[in-house]
Structure 1
Amino acid sequence: MIISASLSCGKSSTPTPEVPVNPPTTVSTFSNPLMNGADPSVFQKDGVYYYLQTNGSSINLWTTTAMSKLSSSIPKTVYAPPAGGQNSRNVWAPELFYLDGKWYIYYTAGNGADISQRTWVLENSSADPTTGTWVDKGKIFSTSADFWAIDGTVFESGGSRYFLWCGRPDLTNVNLTQNIYISKMTNPYTLEGVATKLTEPEFSWEKNGFGVNEGPEVLVSSDNKASLIYSASFCGTDDYALGMMNLKVGGNPLVKADWTKSTQPVFTKQPQSNAFGPGHNSFFKSPDGTENWIIYHANSATNQGCADQRNIRMQKFTFNADGSPNFGQPVATGLQIAKPSGEK
């Protein structure tokens, strides 16, 4: 005869009723800021978001499948430049791209002197950019504009690839005015031909502190209309903001006249929302592809400047009837907003 374990231990054989376990509550909202940092950049591929921001001494890469949970991702240092080199100091604004079957990171760095800042390229042939070896491909520059250069990014249009960046042409470093330039690319680490100056600070809202057009990012709408979104005014002011240029349909990105520049900023400070100096942005789509999101940095209080107090924020945006983006206003810190559609 088989005696049950419960009887042999002198316990009742009456089954203990199961206590229902409630499934974990699904959190459907998040609030800004996501985390501390500046100069955010996002690249999406195969359901993964790759995130980078300015570190100063190296390049770190975050990966996540849910941007609202970015702060819980553990970054990996993928590149630290050798000490003493021309790209060893002031490592700023890295951006990741997947081009021609390889990964590329474009970043700004110098030797420690501000006037030495240039844009540089790293290449990785691994399928996963968090693994493999990042090869230094050197400086990327136009021979017609080989001067102070930051904030490089890549834009593809009409079967051609273009590089955009912010440049300061005064080699004496007395005139600090920053412009945005564009040049066609021969390959992911070489520019072809001369550089075109697309925009320079013209309006008062681009000249707070001193004249600045920087941080170019090209956004293409679903009907294939391209908008160049850039940051204007000195980042140390509360009035750092976003400006916009739109490329005419069928226009040549290298021809300045084919771009129309907005006379007003398209994204500005909102003191009542604890958003001062919003700018240096990137774009991404929600996991299900139905929503467009902007990610940017801002300060939470006035007069915090270009320092460690800057933090990362994101919010959904829409497009106007003419294909230009409508970013609205910076969302208030602490406000619960819906996560990107399709996040798990």
Structure 2
Amino acid sequence: MAKAIHVYTRPVDDACYPEGLARSVHFACSSEVSGDIPWNKNYGILFVHGEISKDNTIIPMGIKDPCIFRIDDKRMGIAARRVLEDGSPDETTAGKLMLWETEDLISFTEKGFVTCESIGAMAASGSEDAGDSTFSSYLEVPDELADAATLYWSSIKYTETVIPERVTIGSLEELESVKAKIRYSDGSVRTKSVKWNADAIDFSVPGEYRIEGVIDQQRFDFPLAKGYGDPVIFPWDDKWYYISTNDNLNDIGIYVREAEDVHGLFADGVIEHLILPFDPKRGFEQTFWAPEFHVIGGELYILFAVSGHKWGPQCHLMKLKKGRPIIEEDSWEDPVRIVRKNGEPLAIDEITLDMTYVKNNAGSYMIWSYRENIATPLDSGSMLYIASVDEDAPWKLTSEPVLLTRPLYGWENVSGTINNEGPNHFISDGMVYVTYSGGSANRYTYALGLLTASVDDDLLNPDNWHKSITPVLTFYSVDGEFGPGHNAFYTNEDGELMISYHGETDIGSSLRCDGIRRVHFRSDGSPYFQMSKEEDIRTEKVYITICIR
């Protein structure tokens, strides 16, 4: 048996699916039984890179007329003509096609531009009706391959909870070690603790008992807070803290919330403590942007950007005084501007922002967003740089900055947004995962990209990083959440990795609102950021029979 894999572009819709998104390679699987199933919720999967002009500006590009074909017994090729953002021909690649190769229709390798003659025989292109999409080409593949890829590009959902029917134990501690297995639609499984109700059980008396337990999954509504961007959740000294960009106050001042748990950070009447006020004497007047808590060398810092009287955000940090409470203004040392290894400012006429700290086995680093000539014809767009730092003096770089990524894909540069910003990271299974944001920071096109490296790699070597072609979180990911981005990560009380982010509540809104949800991990260990609370496990009761020996 075989199923057909279709590749196509979508019509441009300036209101909800503009050129940077529509002119990408979309995929769908079709069969007589299932009909047409668009992958990735009909959001683009393969994007072609733009070009950098001699003026250091970005020329955005898209694709046209994609096709899919068999290269050999293992490999398939996807090829397309590169066009300018508006769909007009790209004369610089005339007679050539962009080629991607894949063995599984999950991972794709960009091979660059090749001549049509070099590609060889193309698959016969077809045209079938699939709603608002036009299929440009298709290839029949074995069911097993098609089903695995369709599963990968579909939403992952909770399917069942597995608990032993009966266990033999001798103590409360042994009972508490009995965990639930939570299964998901992609075949992934995770374990979760159960809060067993064993208050009435005397573990010194042998016997058989039927008891109840509760599996508790933290769930958060969206939006949690309106008028806040770049949210960060942080545990410190048995309390929880929330810090963000405060759009409600025109991004003036840095405020912190404190609570006993994360839900308390968003409770009615929660106090916002001002820890860095408007202060012209110190040059802190505007763009109090993207504050983040980081423990560096055992000390607590806040990394943030701020401008003086003249607009132009620059990266700063400030350090918590020993033993002082986070929520008091005088607990913090005076902010220090980030400098290069020669002691000069990180930037002068350019802007720097969204700095974050990363540590792996090879060293300590700062990653930040940098932009030249913003809002001029020579606007470079924002891009991410990395440099090493000494933990004892993290305000001073110890290497030259190294470019990590520029917004060359259509989803990063939607309608002139030319944006790579908001990096944040976590480490899992020997890998460093750095998320970042592209598109418009307060519109529905905002989306998360992903950079990946080994925990042992020298992160200053660009060759050690892999950049995902496809964004990992978009306005297609979770119903009712538009423009999700500029995120941070934290680990909750149950040891689960959580992602905080901002987005909007409808496609036309520019009011940034905060959300939180769990990061899921596929069976291969890779992260999945798109699981809504409705698709995850709910708090539920379970039952078990225990035999006390």
Q: TM-score, normalised by structure 1?
A: 0.81
Change (3 A) 1:336 1:312: farther
Map 1:141-160 onto structure 2 (within 5 A). Answer: 141-142=339-340, 146=347, 147-158=350-361, 160=363
| C-alpha distance in structure 1 between counterparts of 2:516 and 2:506, whole Å | 17
What is residue 60 of structure 1 aligned with on the other side?
255
Q: 1:169 aligns with which of 368, 372, 378?
A: 372
What is residue 521 of structure 2 aligned with on the other side?
319
Is 1:194 matched with 2:384? no
Map 1:111-150 onto structure 2 (within 5 A). Answer: 111-114=308-311, 116-127=312-323, 128-131=325-328, 132-142=330-340, 146=347, 147-150=350-353
Q: 2:414 aligns with which of 194, 208, 213?
A: 208
Q: 1:34 aligns with which of 193, 217, 224?
A: 224
| C-alpha distance in structure 2 between counterparts of 1:130 and 1:117, whole Å | 24
Q: TM-score, normalised by structure 2?
A: 0.52
| C-alpha distance in structure 1 between counterparts of 2:471 and 2:436, whole Å | 10
| C-alpha distance in structure 2 between counterparts of 1:183 and 1:27, whole Å | 38
Letter in 2 for 1:203: Y
Change (3 A) 1:158 1:172: same
Q: 2:303 aligns with which of 102, 106, 121?
A: 106
Higher deviation after alignment, 129-138 or 69-78: 129-138
Change (3 A) 1:268 1:69: same
* CA shift for structure 1 position 106: 0.9
Helix, strand or coil at the partner of 1:207:
coil
- Answer yes or no: is the 8 Å Cα contact 2:369–2:420 preserved in 1: yes
Change (3 A) 1:295 1:81: same
What is residue 182 of structure 1 aligned with on the other side?
386
What is residue 263 of structure 1 aligned with on the other side?
469
- Answer yes or no: is the 8 Å Cα contact 1:270–1:329 preserved in 2: no
Higher deviation after alignment, 103-112 or 200-209: 103-112
* CA shift for structure 1 position 242: 0.2
| C-alpha distance in structure 2 between counterparts of 1:253 and 1:58, whole Å | 33
Helix, strand or coil at the partner of 1:254:
coil
What is residue 211 of structure 2 aligned with on the other side?
none
- Answer yes or no: is the 8 Å Cα contact 2:475–2:483 preserved in 1: yes
* CA shift for structure 1 position 230: 0.3
Quote the RMSD (CA, aligned, Å): 2.7
- Answer yes or no: is the 8 Å Cα contact 1:216–1:231 preserved in 2: yes
Is 1:80 matched with 2:291? no
Map 1:281-320 onto structure 2 (within 5 A). Answer: 281-289=487-495, 291-305=496-510, 309-320=511-522
Is 1:227 matched with 2:423? no
| C-alpha distance in structure 2 between counterparts of 1:287 and 1:299, whole Å | 28
**Alpha-carbon deviations, 1:39-81, whole Å to 9, x = none?**
1012223432221000211111112232123212322111114
Letter in 2 for 1:320: R
| C-alpha distance in structure 2 between counterparts of 1:176 and 1:338, whole Å | 46
| C-alpha distance in structure 2 between counterparts of 1:99 and 1:271, whole Å | 34
- Answer yes or no: is the 8 Å Cα contact 1:273–1:331 preserved in 2: no
| C-alpha distance in structure 2 between counterparts of 1:58 and 1:149, whole Å | 18
User: Rg: which structure is higher?
Assistant: 2
Helix, strand or coil at the partner of 2:387:
strand
Runs of 5+ consecutive residues of structure 2 not aligned to the other structure: 1-215, 540-549
Q: Number of residues paired by the alignment?
A: 306
Q: 1:239 aligns with which of 424, 445, 469?
A: 445
- Answer yes or no: is the 8 Å Cα contact 2:231–2:488 preserved in 1: yes
Letter in 2 for 1:299: E
Map 1:268-279 onto structure 2 (within 5 A). Answer: 268-270=474-476, 273-279=479-485
| C-alpha distance in structure 2 between counterparts of 1:70 and 1:172, whole Å | 36
| C-alpha distance in structure 2 between counterparts of 1:214 and 1:208, whole Å | 14
- Answer yes or no: is the 8 Å Cα contact 2:437–2:448 preserved in 1: yes
Percentage identity across paired residues of the two chains:
26
| C-alpha distance in structure 1 between counterparts of 2:427 and 2:478, whole Å | 31
Helix, strand or coil at the partner of 1:205:
coil
